[in-house]
Amino acid sequence: MAIFSSLGRQQKEAIGLLQIGSFLEYFDLLLYVHMAVLLNELFFPKTDPHTASLLAAFAFCSTYVLRPFGALLFGWIGDNMGRKSTVIITSMMMALSCLVMAILPTYEQIGILAAWIVTICRVVQGLSSMGEIIGAEIYVTEITKPPAQYVAVSLIDLAAYVGGAFAVGVAALVTIKGFDWRDAFWIGACIAVVGSVARTRLRETPEFLQKKLKATFNKKETGKSKNVRMFLSEEKVDKKVMVAFFATYCGWPLSFYLAFMHFNPFLKSMGKSAQGIIMHNFFLSMVLCVAFLGWGLLSYKVHPLKISKLKGIGFLAFSLLLPAWLFYVKTPADLFFTQTMLIIFALSALPSNSIFIRHFPILKRFTVTSFLYALTRALMYVFTSFGLVYFTEWLGHWGTWLITLPVGASFYWGVCYFEKLEQRAEETEEEQSISQKSPLAGGSM
């Protein structure tokens, strides 16, 4: 691939291994999400539609609410033990949770205990996926340079989305073809183990090792740990950068939930069965993969932040029209078009991920970015899933504005702020380059 012609063999191999791992990890994570219309009926008590929606939201959010704690744990591991260790541990955690769900009795067999065990497994999966995606993105960011870096990091994200699409495909086979749903989780457990073993071939990133060795050298020279703490404290994290990162990463939970989860009751009211909804979402996942691949490849020629700004504008424009448009949606095809537009202009960090990551200090990068990432997922999935239930109940379709417009505007502001940071960085590099070329530079008086 011409885009990666500047990369060495080890860099390409690392990108490939991380893509495979991200694919496997998110296949496992989203397997339950896309089979929720079937599995929630097996593991949760039967209730009225409103309560069922709340239970479904609870099961969905349980994957994300404890992610900030997982981010702190894996952030510490990633910034102290290394990026490689983190992505291996997370794969093994995913394998264990899939194994438990594959053998778990249903609600009819053991009662409410089944619901609690499923919820715990979903929490474990959420924790492991937390270290997974950020770890892979940081790893690739640290071993590559722009513009190939933009595409490489985007492909890591894309691999995760493809994993989600395959999860929908397996869910469709299980429900439509009558396969045992437990087989899907056995497959998930097996491929998670494969991903863990494959990642043992990775090497730690040079950028991380250089910083770590410098800190270790300072400790040996002084013999006092406080000097290491002073060294680390010099790497300050800009609070405004944190706010901008948070604002941009809040967008994807809204886009994903709105496109894939919120409209399931609409499909049911149109006569779609659980199997039909899963197949509908499978085709939707294909659209997502194609759209995100397109955005990622485009970033090699067009600056990623310009693409992200375009997506932000497109999302806000479509969100303004969405409530009125939904009154005219009568068929699954109409709804599919609606979901497709939400996906094409989804508020995802792709393809600007690496730019956002680069603006954090190396030895604090994993902890800070993973914590902020986890916080956006925990807060936004809870706010979006429960908020849409109540806002649309009170205000009808117009209730979507209470979430889509402020989140879309925040996303756009965050991208614009990073654009300013990039411009400042380019100006600083130009000034340094001119200074070094000046005949007075380094001259004697």
Averaged pLDDT for residues 244-262: 93
Judged by average pLDDT, the poorest of 51-65, 285-299, 310-324 is 51-65
> Taking a C-beta distance cutoff of 8 angstroms, is the pair 207, 78 a contact?
no
Instruction: Give tens-digit pLDDT for 270-282.
Output: 888 877 887 888 8
More confident residue, 155 or 428: 155
Residue 444 has a pLDDT of 40
Residue 231 has a pLDDT of 40
Residue 208 has a pLDDT of 77
Averaged pLDDT for residues 217-232: 49
For residue 106, what pLDDT band results from cuts at 50, 70 and 90? Answer: confident
* Backbone CA torsion sign across 109, 111, 115, 120: negative
Instruction: Give tens-digit pLDDT for 35-94.
Output: 666 677 777 776 656 666 666 666 666 666 667 777 888 888 888 777 777 877 877 787
Instruction: Give tens-digit pLDDT for 325-381.
Output: 998 888 999 999 999 999 999 999 999 999 999 999 988 898 899 899 888 988 898
Structure tokens that stand for 210 in this block:
């250089």
Structure tokens that stand for 202 in this block:
């990775």
**Rounded Cα gap, residues 292 and 343, in angstroms:** 9
Residue 443 has a pLDDT of 47
* Residue extents of the structural domains in the chain: 7-206+234-425
Is the pTM higher than 0.75? The answer reads yes
Query: What does the DSSP assignment read for 64-79?
Result: TTTHHHHHHHHHHHHH
For residue 216, what pLDDT band results from cuts at 50, 70 and 90? Answer: low
Residue 60 has a pLDDT of 62
Q: Residue 348: how many CB atoms within 10 A of its CB?
A: 25
Q: E strands within 48-181? A: none
Residue 102 has a pLDDT of 81
Residue 324 has a pLDDT of 93
Coil, strand or helix: which one is 61?
Answer: helix
Averaged pLDDT for residues 406-410: 97
Instruction: Give tens-digit pLDDT for 130-181.
Output: 677 888 899 899 889 998 999 999 999 899 888 888 887 877 777 667 677 7
Residue 227 has a pLDDT of 44
Q: Which CATH number is associated with domain 7-206+234-425?
A: 1.20.1250.20
Averaged pLDDT for residues 425-430: 78
In 3D, which of 294, 101, 88, 114 has the Cα closest to residue 202?
Answer: 88
Residue 3 has a pLDDT of 77
> Taking a C-beta distance cutoff of 8 angstroms, is the pair 319, 222 a contact?
no
Residue 226 has a pLDDT of 47
pLDDT at residue 263 is higher than 80: yes
Residue 230 has a pLDDT of 41
**Rounded Cα gap, residues 86 and 65, in angstroms:** 20
Query: What does the DSSP assignment read for 232-285?
Result: HHTSPPPHHHHHHHHHHHTHHHHHHHHHHTTTHHHHHHTT--HHHHHHHHHHHH
In 3D, which of 117, 111, 95, 113 has the Cα closest to residue 188?
Answer: 95
> Taking a C-beta distance cutoff of 8 angstroms, is the pair 131, 86 a contact?
yes
Gyration radius (Cα) of the chain, Å:
23
**Rounded Cα gap, residues 24 and 93, in angstroms:** 12
Q: What proportion of the chain, given as a percentage, has pLDDT over 90?
A: 30
Averaged pLDDT for residues 233-245: 84
Lookup result for tokens 């250089």: 210
